[in-house]
């Protein structure tokens, strides 16, 4: 029975993910990867990079889901655009799996995690059941590829190699601008070389994108960002996602009060509070770098307009480092009652099965509760990172921040 449950979960999830991939290929135009692929293919055929394609129209959806990635992101996709669609998706999937596996190897090596075989099986079951993994496979997203530069940047910070961290952070920011939240952190830590390195890489990406796609593609990208109107998605765990669902709703959600004018001001105030508290804690002298990196990553997702649950995997390294000493323990270290509640809250929300989110939440209480489970899960994780000592007292000193 001890091994039966995790084995059953692994087998079920693998079968389920296989079915998801088949559905994505046959009925959903390759999900989000299809948006990247057809955008790059359209550019090669002389069309606008951000025009509508067969992949931007989601089945049974009331909105069109545009490609929101910056033009220079498509430099990675251009070689794949020369391939047939399914071959390109296969290459993309293989690249994502290799990136994920390499990142896991780096994380396990850095944290020196040694566990019994059955505990590894437990972790594999949790990872396969994690909605962020399900979402990445469902949409063919970029999060596993992005995990590599984020993990390398985190490892460089742990080793006090700040400039190297800046180089890798620049790669990550070029892919996803919301990760620029680390730039003021570097500036406040007086790591000017690291900050300059990150800005240099991001600027180089911008110049390369202009050279390849033209300045007009960036104007089109900015205009496309302004047309984004799907913050209500169940996969969006950000504060804006919650506020959009409960005050604006959509064809699928019943708002608590239909007052869409409240959404933007409340979001700006709330996002400002989240970022202020995140920086205040992360910049304290006693805050270990693992905790600071985890806080910045989770806080940026809460404050971002589109904090998709699949980006939570980017915090895997620092969270594994914080939780590592607990995993082999036979007894869970003592944690305050608020800490226990927050960790349980975070686990319940972040691991809520996506299949249950599809149950039409036609009631306001459902919209604010389980339909927004990923927001509540990420909020609980962020609060836990603020107050819970995630390492036993005897080992805390080993993870104190190295001198700049």
Residue pLDDT, tens place only, 38-69 = 999 999 999 999 998 888 876 656 678 889 99
Residue 127: C-alpha distances to residues 108, 291, 316, 351 (Å): 14, 21, 11, 10
pLDDT of residue 372: 92
**Eight-class DSSP state of 180:** G
- In whole angstroms, give the CA distance from residue 55 to residue 272: 34
Listed residue (390, 378, 306, 298) closest to 346, CA to CA: 378
Distances 361 to 18, 244, 252, 255, 344 between C-alpha atoms, Å: 27, 14, 7, 10, 24
CB 262 within 8 A of CB 245: no
What is the C-alpha separation between 69 and 393, in angstroms, rounded?
Answer: 43
Buried-exposed string 88-114: b where 16+ CB fall within 10 A, e elsewhere:
bbeebeeebeebbeebbebbbebbebe
Predicted TM-score of the model (pTM): 0.90
Q: How confident is the model at residue 113, as a pLDDT?
A: 80
How far is the C-alpha of 253 from the C-alpha of 258, rounded, in Å? 11
Q: What is the dihedral of CA 374, 375, 379, 380, to 10 degrees?
A: -40
If 0-12 CB within 10 Å is exposed, 13-18 middle and 19+ buried, where does residue 201 land?
A: buried
| Rounded-to-integer distance, Cα 350 and Cα 345, Å | 8
Q: Which residues pair with 64 in a beta bridge?
A: 57
Domain spans, the chain: 230-404
d(CA 361, CA 346): 21
Q: According to the model, what pLDDT value does residue 249 have?
A: 75
Regions of the chain short of the pLDDT cut 70: 1-2, 58-62, 251, 325-336, 358-362, 389-404
pLDDT at 268: 96
What angle (nearest 5°) sits at the alpha carbon of residue 261, between those of residues 256 and 262? 60
Question: What is the pLDDT at residue 60?
Answer: 56
3-state secondary structure of 37: helix
Q: Which residues contact 100 (CB under 8 A, 6 or more apart)?
A: 144, 147
151 contacts 99 by C-beta, under 8 angstroms: no
**C-alpha of 296 from chain center:** 12
CA distance 173 to 301: 14
Nearest to 246 by CA among 238, 256, 236: 256
**Cβ count within 10 A of residue 195:** 23
For residue 208, the surrounding DSSP H or E stretch is helix 192-213
pLDDT given for residue 269 in this prediction: 97
């Amino acid at each position: 029975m001890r091994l039966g449950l995790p084995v059953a979960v692994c087998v079920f999830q693998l079968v389920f993910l296989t079915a998801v991939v088949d559905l994505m290929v046959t009925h959903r135009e390759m999900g989000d990867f299809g948006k990247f692929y057809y955008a790059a293919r359209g550019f090669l055929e002389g069309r606008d990079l951000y025009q509508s394609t067969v992949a931007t129209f989601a089945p049974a959806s009331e909105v069109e889901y545009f490609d929101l990635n910056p033009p220079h992101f498509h430099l990675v996709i251009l070689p794949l655009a020369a391939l047939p669609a399914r071959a390109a998706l296969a290459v993309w999937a293989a690249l994502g799996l290799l990136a994920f596996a390499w990142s896991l190897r780096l994380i396990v090596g850095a944290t020196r995690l040694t566990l019994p075989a059955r505990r590894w099986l437990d972790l594999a079951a949790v990872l396969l059941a994690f909605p962020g993994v399900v979402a990445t496979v469902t949409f063919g997203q970029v999060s596993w590829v992005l995990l590599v530069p984020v993990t390398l940047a985190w490892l460089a910070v742990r080793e006090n190699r700040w400039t190297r961290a800046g180089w890798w952070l620049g790669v990550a920011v070029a892919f996803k601008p919301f990760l620029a939240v680390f730039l003021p952190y570097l500036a406040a830590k007086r790591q000017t070389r690291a900050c300059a390195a990150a800005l240099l890489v991001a600027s180089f990406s911008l110049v390369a994108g202009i050279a390849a796609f033209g300045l007009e593609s960036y104007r089109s990208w900015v205009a496309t960002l302004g047309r984004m109107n799907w913050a209500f998605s169940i996969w969006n765990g950000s504060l804006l996602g919650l506020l959009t669902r409960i005050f604006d709703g959509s064809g699928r959600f019943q708002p608590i009060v239909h007052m869409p004018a409240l959404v933007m001001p409340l979001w700006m105030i709330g996002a400002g509070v989240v970022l202020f508290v995140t920086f205040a804690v992360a910049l304290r002298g006693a805050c270990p770098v693992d905790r600071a990196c985890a806080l910045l990553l989770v806080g940026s997702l809460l404050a971002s307009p589109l904090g998709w649950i699949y980006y939570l995997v980017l915090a895997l390294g620092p969270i594994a480092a914080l939780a590592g000493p607990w995993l082999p323990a036979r007894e869970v270290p003592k944690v305050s009652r608020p800490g226990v509640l927050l960790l349980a809250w975070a686990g319940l929300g972040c691991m809520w099965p996506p299949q249950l989110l599809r149950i039409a939440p036609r009631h306001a209480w459902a919209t604010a509760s389980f339909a927004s489970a990923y927001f509540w899960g990420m909020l609980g994780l962020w609060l836990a990172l603020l107050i819970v000592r995630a390492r036993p007292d005897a080992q805390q000193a080993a993870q104190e921040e190295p001198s700049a």
